[in-house]
Homo-oligomer: A and B are copies of this chain.
Amino acid sequence: MKINSVVIVGGTHGNESTGVFLYNKLKNQLTSFKGIKINYLLSNPKAAKECKRFIDHDLNRSFAHKDLNNIEKTGYEFNRAKAINSFIGPKGNPSTDFIIDMHTTTANMGVSVILVEQNPLNIRLAAYLSSKIKDLKIYSIGASAYMGDNDHSFLNSVTPHGFSLEVGPIANGIVRGDILQMTENTINHTLDFLQAHNNNTLGDLPETVEIFEHEKKISYPVDENKMITAYIHEEFEDKNYLPLKKGDPIFKTMNNEIIYFEEDKIYYPVFINEAAYYYKKTAFSLTTLNKIKVPQV
C-alpha cells in the first residue's frame, strides 16, 4: 500500500517537551513531503500546558479497543483517546496511513524506534532507519505480552504502520538542541523511506535487522510500605541495550548492599531509570535481541 498521509504527534506525554516544541515548530514548516500529506496533532494539550505526563490516565495506554469502545471509561485521556481515534482513526480502518508519535525518556536510550506491529512495511522501515542512523535501536513491544493481550493501548496502534519515537536521555519539562536534532533527523529519514517506498525507488535493504523484543519488567526493591529502598547500581546506570548477565550488579540498597542479576539467560535492558515508571516501581525492562529477516518486495 502507498502511504499518502502521515500524522506527526507531540505531547502524548505532556511533560516530554521535545514533542510539544516540534509540534509547534514543524506544523508550519513541513506540511507535505513529495506527495505525502503531513498532519500534526498535539495529543494531550491539557497535560502539555500543565507539563505533566497525564491528567487522569496515561494517554499512551488509552487506545486499546476495549477502552475506545467503553463509554464508561471517563477522565480526560480516555475521552481524548476516543476523540483522537475518531479524528485520525478509527483503529482497524484508519483515515491516516502512518503515525509518528514523538516521545522522550530520562533513560540513556539514544534514538529508539518502538514498534507495536512487526508487519512488512514497519520491518523494512526499521531496517532502513538502522542502516541510516548510527546507534538507532529498534524496540518491539508488539509480539510480547506487554499489554497483557494483543489489544495494544499505544496511540500509534491506531494505524498498523508507524512507531513511537523515544529519544533520550533528557529530563522532563525541558528542550535540548541535541535531542530535537535526533528527533527531526529520524522523522526526515522516515519520510525519505516512505517516499521511496511509494515510488518503488528504495533499492536493496539489509537482509536482516536487529530488533530488541520486550520480555518483562523488573521492579525496584521496596519495603513493607512499598517505598523504594534501592537505586540503579552505578555500573549498570545508562547501560541500555547492552547485555546483562548473571552476576552483574543491578541495584544498590539504602544499606549499601549490592543486588546482582540472577538469571542465566542474557537479556538486553531498556528504560533503565525512566522517571515515569517510578510510581509503578519499575526500574527497567528486559528484552531479547532477535535478528529478523527483512521482507524484500
Question: Chain A interface (Cβ within 8 Å of chain B)?
Answer: 17, 21, 24-25, 51, 106, 169-178, 180-181, 227-228, 231-234, 237, 252, 254, 273-276, 278-279
Contact = CB atoms under 8 A, between A and B. Distances in A.
Contacts of A169: 171
B51 A254 contact: no
Nearest to A168: B171
Closest A-B pairs by Cβ, 8 of them: A173-B275, A171-B171, A177-B234, A106-B171, A25-B254, A175-B231, A174-B275, A174-B273
Contacts of A276: 173
Contacts of A278: 17, 51, 173-174
Contacts of A273: 174-176
A178 B24 contact: no
A232 B176 contact: yes
Number of identical protomers:
2
B231 A51 contact: no
A177 B231 contact: yes
Given A106-B171, A227-B24, A176 B237 contact: yes
Contacts of A181: 234
A174 B25 CA distance: 29
Contacts of A175: 228, 231-232, 273
B174 A254 contact: no
Contacts of A172: 171-173, 275
